[in-house]
Amino acid sequence: MDVKIISVLVPCYNEAETLLVLYGRLTDLAGRLTREFEFIFVNDGSTDNTPEILDDLAAGDPRVKVLHLAQNRGHQIALTAGMDHASGEMIVTIDADLQDPPELIAEMLAKIEEGFDVVHAQRRSRAGETYFKLATARIFYVLMNRLTMGRIIENCGDFRAFSRPVLQVISQFREPHRFLRGMFSEIGFRQCVIPYDRDARYAGETKYPLPKMVKFAVDAVFSFSAAPIRMILGLSIAIWALSLLYLIKTLYEKFILQITVPGWASIIVLLTFLTGLILFSLAVIGAYVGRVFEQGQQRPLYWVRETRNIQPVSAGSATTDSGRDSTSPTTARFGEPPRQRVSR
């Protein structure tokens, strides 16, 4: 495959401390490769000075294209927004925290030009991560591979390269709660894996604390789950836990203190177990019902507040007074895949 344009997509949420270093390493890479580059930064509702830094970069370098989302929509949606506006024959998704080395893009390019359509970067080692993070990641992949019959590639995050035909297929998947690494693993095409050593985070704090990790895992299992259903699931687990505590108390009174009425212990055992099981089952069924409900609403995935160095992609786009691109209520603004632009 002849790659002339490489699109590098970077979701950003409060990454002011890393952006300039990342931009420097990307431009150094672009200088070494005889390809045209575009760097698409998606500001996912950052609350620090990430937007100002991105605007300054875009003002000084036309290759830097910026999407300012009107609201934080999460990592997977931010990546989707970047993919909707990519124009390259090869697309690379990479995080802004510099844990994934941009220099690996050169090796990815070689694989794409060799004929592969998807190149996954697989973490051989993960510096700077706690034992708890590594253990939970291992459990996650074991669980996912059991549920998906081994289709998820272990230790592969969202650092990957893929061809334009793959982008056109992935762009048709518009479910609200997305698990991109699962989508890329399932769509077929010719795929390969490149191992690498993941660096420690350059600066700042992780954007995936424990609650977000749990949410991501739930979304991956159900593809998406409505918030009320998650509340029911949590409530059922809590009730089951309380019931187990009461069960322990009952067994203690039965076998240690010997003060219970005959038959009472067996009734408590059956009641607590079956009640918890029924509630948990209802929560799982409700998760799929909620998925159908929210998918049927067909709400947009994201909202774009304004853009920098991105040309209008559909009728109705407008330009701000400063001459930099903005968007009006078009398909591009509301998170539907716009008509793709391939400049030559």
Backbone angles phi, psi at 121, to 5 degrees: -95, 115
Q: Same structural domain for residues 26 and 107?
A: yes
In this predicted structure, the answer to whether residue 241 has a pLDDT above a threshold of 70 is yes
- Specify the pLDDT at position 93: 95
Query: Are 103 and 248 members of one domain?
Result: no
- Hey, what's the torsion of the CAs at 201, 203, 205, 207, to 10 degrees? -60
Give CA–CA dist 288/248, Å, rounded: 33
Residues 96 and 201 in one domain: yes
Whether 221 is covered by a domain: the verdict is: no
**In this structure, are 118 and 235 located in the same domain?**
no
What is the model's pLDDT at position 152? 72
Query: So what's the pLDDT on residue 300?
Result: 86
User: What's the average model confidence in pLDDT over 44-52?
Assistant: 93
Which among 225, 342, 245 has a CA at the least distance from the CA of 286? 225
pLDDT band at 65 (very low <50, low <70, confident <90, very high): very high
pLDDT at residue number 340: 47
Residue 118's φ and ψ, nearest 5 degrees, are -135, 130
Q: In what order do the strands lie in the sheet with 36-43?
A: 191-198, 118-126, 156-163, 90-93, 5-12, 36-43, 64-69, 304-308
Residue 329 in any domain: the answer is: no
Q: Which of 9, 172, 173, 176 is nearest to 79 (CA)?
A: 9
Is 148 within the bounds of a domain?
no
Sole residue written with tokens 């604390």: 209
The most confident of the ranges 37-51, 251-265, 328-342 is 37-51
192 located within any domain: yes
249 vs 101, more confident? 101
> For residue 112, what are its two tokens?
């794409």
Amino acid letter at 189? F
Length of the chain: 344
pLDDT confidence tier of residue 19, bands split at 50, 70 and 90: very high
> Quick check: 81 and 307 in contact, CB under 8 A?
no
Same domain, 85 and 116: yes
Residue 201 and residue 293 in one domain: no
Q: Is residue 319 part of a domain?
A: no
H-state helical runs in the chain: 19-32, 50-60, 75-84, 105-114, 131-147, 164-170, 180-186, 210-222, 227-252, 264-297
Residue 66: helix, strand or coil by DSSP?
Answer: strand
Instruction: Give the residue, 228 or 76, on which the prediction is more confident.
Output: 76
Residue that the structure tokens 């990479």 belong to:
94
Domain match, 68 and 113 both:
yes
For residue 162, give the 3-state DSSP assignment.
strand
With residue 92 as reference, give the H or E element that holds it: strand 90-93
Q: Does one domain contain both 60 and 171?
A: yes
Structure token pair of residue 119: 């190149």
Task: Indicate whether 325 belongs to any domain.
Answer: no
Q: Which domain holds residue 284?
A: 227-297
- 26 and 71 within one domain: yes
For residue 297, count CB atoms less than 10 angstroms from its CB and return exposed for 0-12, middle for 13-18, buried for 19 or more.
exposed
Q: Summarize pLDDT for 146-170 with one digit per residue, the tens.
A: 665 556 777 778 899 999 999 999 9
Average pLDDT over residues 314-330: 36
What value does the mean pLDDT take over residues 182-194? 87
Per-residue pLDDT at 322 exceeds 50: no
Question: Does one domain contain both 262 and 158?
Answer: no
Q: Considering the entire predicted model, what is its pTM? A: 0.68
Task: Concatenate the DSSP letters of all residues of 119-160 into one string.
Answer: EEEEEEEETT--HHHHHHHHHHHHHHHHHTTT-SPTTEEEEE
Alpha-carbon span 61 to 282, nearest angstrom: 54
Number of domains comprising the chain: 2
- Which domain CATH number covers 104? 3.90.550.10
* 47 and 95 within one domain: yes
CA distance 62 to 279: 55
Backbone angle region of 175, left / alpha / beta, with phi > 0 → left and psi within -120 to 50 → alpha: beta
Residue 271: other Cβ atoms inside 10 A? 13
- Give tens-digit pLDDT for 74-125: 889 999 999 999 999 999 999 998 888 999 999 999 999 999 999 999 887 7
Same-domain pairing of 170 and 284: no
Express each pLDDT in 215-226 by its tens digit.
666 666 555 444
Per the model's pLDDT, the better-predicted residue between 330 and 50 turns out to be: 50
In a domain, 333, yes or no: no
Residue 285 pLDDT greater than 60, yes or no: yes
Tokens of residue 97, six digits: 């925290």
Is 105 contained in some domain? yes
Per the model's pLDDT, the better-predicted residue between 13 and 293 turns out to be: 13
